[in-house]
């Protein structure tokens, strides 16, 4: 390719070896501006938001504070306000006591079609819970989950009430948009520590 200055004044062109015009100077500038704009837009998109964690290695719930933390490499990367069982104090002892368990468990499976907005199962009861229930002659219960709001409630006013109180039968509830994020970055097999 050659740069041909023999064309009309102000209309220099980039020409092929055969002498045919490929791009005028103004078109070259236009293409350069478009490429620069595209690169700037891509870089601006990267800088506008902090990177989202791809996964976490621990979920920690502080019942007294109504707080759930997602932890990666020892650092809290997300924190949510939670609702607990209607009788939140103390460890879950039996079916129907409306308490949220305390201790070390695993998030072991999930249900995208739950009665609530998605749910992730907590491995309660563990061996200690089963042994204690047998000793006291009760059923330890089960199906303790992290989940969103009830799917059957459509009223925004009623759903707003769920933000202000403990309402589950022992599960840990968050808002639906929060559950969406938890669903994405908490994998099956992640440990969960539930503190008093």
91 and 177 part of one domain? yes
Do 155 and 105 reside in the same domain of the chain? yes
Domain that includes residue 172, residue range: 58-195
The pLDDT confidence band at residue 93, using thresholds 50, 70 and 90, is: confident
Band (pLDDT 50/70/90 cuts) for residue 180 is very high
**CATH code of 189's domain:** 2.40.440.10
Q: What is the pLDDT of residues 106-155, one digit of tens each?
A: 999 999 999 999 999 999 999 999 999 999 999 999 999 999 999 988 88
Residue 20 CA to residue 28 CA, distance in Å, equals 16
Dist. CA 37–CA 32, nearest whole Å = 9
10 domain residue, yes or no: yes
Domain contains 144 = yes
Residue 124 sits in the same domain as residue 147: yes
Residues 1/17, Cβ–Cβ less than 8 Å: yes
Task: Say if residue 23 is in the same domain as residue 43.
Answer: yes
Q: Are residues 41 and 67 in the same domain?
A: no
Residue 52 lies in a domain: no
Same-domain status, 119 and 67: yes
Beta bridge partners of 75: 72
**Radius of gyration (C-alpha) of the chain in whole angstroms:** 29
- The answer on 88 and 16 residing in a single domain is no
Tell if the pTM clears 0.85, that is, is over it: no
Are 81 and 130 within one domain?
Answer: yes
Q: Count the domains in the chain.
A: 2
């Amino acid at each position: 390719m050659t740069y041909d200055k023999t064309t009309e004044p102000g209309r220099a062109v980039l020409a092929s070896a055969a002498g045919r015009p490929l791009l005028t100077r103004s078109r070259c500038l236009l293409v350069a501006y478009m490429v620069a704009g595209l690169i700037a837009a891509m870089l601006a998109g990267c800088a506008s938001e902090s990177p989202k964690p791809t996964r976490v290695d621990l979920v920690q719930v502080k019942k007294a504070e109504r707080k759930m933390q997602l932890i990666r490499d020892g650092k809290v990367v997300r924190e949510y306000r939670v609702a607990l069982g209607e009788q939140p104090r103390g460890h879950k002892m039996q079916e129907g006591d409306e308490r949220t368990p305390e201790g070390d468990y695993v998030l072991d499976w999930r249900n995208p079609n739950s009665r609530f907005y998605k749910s992730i199962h907590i491995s309660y009861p563990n061996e200690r819970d089963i042994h204690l229930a047998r000793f006291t002659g009760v059923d330890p219960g089960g199906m303790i989950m992290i989940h969103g709001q009830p799917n059957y409630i459509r009223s925004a006013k009623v759903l707003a009430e769920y933000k202000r109180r403990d309402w589950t039968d022992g599960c840990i509830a968050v808002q639906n948009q929060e559950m969406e994020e938890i669903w994405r970055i908490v994998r099956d097999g992640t440990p969960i520590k539930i503190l008093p």
